[in-house]
Amino acid sequence: MRLLGLLALIAVLVPALVVPVSAAPPAPPLEHVFVVMLENHSYDQVIGNPAMPYLNGLAKRYGLATNFYANTHPSIGNYFMATAGQIVTNDDHWEGVFDGDNIVRALTKAGKSWRVYAQSLPAAGYAGCSKYPYSKHHIPFAYFKDVRDNPALAANIVEYGQLWKDLEAGALPNYAVLVPDKMNDAHDCPAAKRPCSDDDQLAAADRWLEQNIGPLVNDADFMKNGLLVIDWDEAEEHDHEHGGGHIAVVVAGGRVPPALRSDRFYRQESVLATSLAALGVSARPGASAGALVMSEFYAGR
């Protein structure tokens, strides 16, 4: 009887001694997510290339996705995947209008601000055809019906110099896409050197990054509450692995664990999913609904 009584007492006391373990709280939302898209180079052409010391310096200091693949060739499908979660077209000369779900709808519904800062843009709110070195198919927002039908939204597509005014005024948007023109995104030769080598193109893009995102990286407020994603639209043309080839994606920000190297498999829809998740927006357009969020780059410390 004494043994039975002791067992009964243990049965009552043991549950009371178990301390429940709760899941780790999610990372608080960031204030800013900015995305830069460069052009047409594979991972091995970029990472470790002495022609791109600035980008490689950011990759060593902050974060690098080593297993990231573009979705398709040519460029335009990847730009749509990173902003609408689908390959709307693979025709770089397409002049249609896209009325599907997209990042603008998600941000607007959530009350988040956004802007596109585009180098060589002909005019604020411009949604017309390409005018070299400005390239429309590098700006999917210019195809979104939401933007084209709403002058207030179209006004968020601005020339690149507006970024410095917004930074100085403390008026940076929550989400932004930073768009170099075709002479500075590694697509074409730089203006001062024609013809040029592939490394000349990459070096020009690297100089553009240093001059045009360097002030953001050096801004304490942005880095404390922001994430900068430097993406490539696609690999070189002959690389079709996973659709668009192996590309380098560098992520910088105050929450990025130092020298992070991630070998998780990502594609362009993860840029879309991450942009929204990091800002605390629950919507996930298109393929981003099933995409892996790159939370390791902003929830690590």
Q: Provide the greatest CA pair distance for the chain.
A: 97
List the domain boundaries for the chain. 32-297
Q: What is the pLDDT of residue 192?
A: 82
CA distance 135 to 141: 12
The interaxial angle of helices 75-84 and 268-278, nearest 10 deg, is 30
9 pLDDT higher than 70: no
Q: What is the mean pLDDT of residues 266-280?
A: 98
Q: Are 203 and 51 in contact (CB under 8 A)?
A: yes
* pLDDT value at 209 more than 60: yes
Residue 204 scores a pLDDT above 50? yes
pLDDT in tens, 40-56: 999 999 999 999 999 99
Confidence class for position 80, pLDDT limits 50, 70, 90: very high
Q: Is 127 exposed, middle or buried (0-12, 13-18, 19+ CB in 10 A)?
A: middle
Residue 7 pLDDT greater than 70, yes or no: no
pLDDT score at 14: 45
**Average pLDDT over every residue of 172-184:** 98
Give the DSSP letter string of 259-299: TEEE---EEHHHHHHHHHHHTT-----GGGGGSPP-GGGTS
Backbone phi, then psi, for 210, in 5-degree steps?
-60, -40
- The C-alpha angle with vertex 180 and arms to 55 and 288, in degrees rounded to 5, equals 80
Residue holding tokens 């929550």?
A: 174
Looking at residue 299, its pLDDT comes to: 84
The yes-or-no verdict on residue 1 having pLDDT over 70 is no
Average pLDDT of the residues of the chain: 92
**Residues 241/72/32/208 CA torsion (nearest 10 deg):** 90
Q: Identify whether the C-beta of residue 70 lies closer than 8 Å to the C-beta of residue 268.
A: yes
**Tokens encoding 157:** 């597509």
> For residue 16, what pLDDT band results from cuts at 50, 70 and 90?
very low
DSSP per residue over 184-242, as a string? TSSSS--TT-SS--HHHHHHHHHHHHHHHTHHHHT-HHHHHHEEEEEEES---TT--TT
Query: With bands split at pLDDT 50, 70 and 90, how would you rate the model's confidence at 57?
Result: very high
Q: Check residue 2 and give its pLDDT.
A: 52
pLDDT in tens, 211-259: 999 999 999 999 999 999 999 999 999 999 999 999 999 999 999 999 9
> How much is the pLDDT for 296?
96
Tell me whether residue 206 is exposed, middle or buried, using C-beta atoms within 10 angstroms of its C-beta: 0 to 12, 13 to 18, 19 or more.
Answer: buried
pLDDT range class, residue 10, cuts 50, 70, 90: very low
Structure token digits, residue 20 = 């429940």
Residue 300's pLDDT is what? Answer: 62
pTM, full prediction: 0.91
Average pLDDT of the segment spanning 114-141? 97
| Residue of 58, 25, 33, 26 whose CA lies nearest to 225 | 33
Whether pLDDT at 104 is above 70: yes
- Average pLDDT over every residue of 283-297: 97
SS3 state of residue 143: helix
Highest CATH level, class, for 32-297: alpha beta
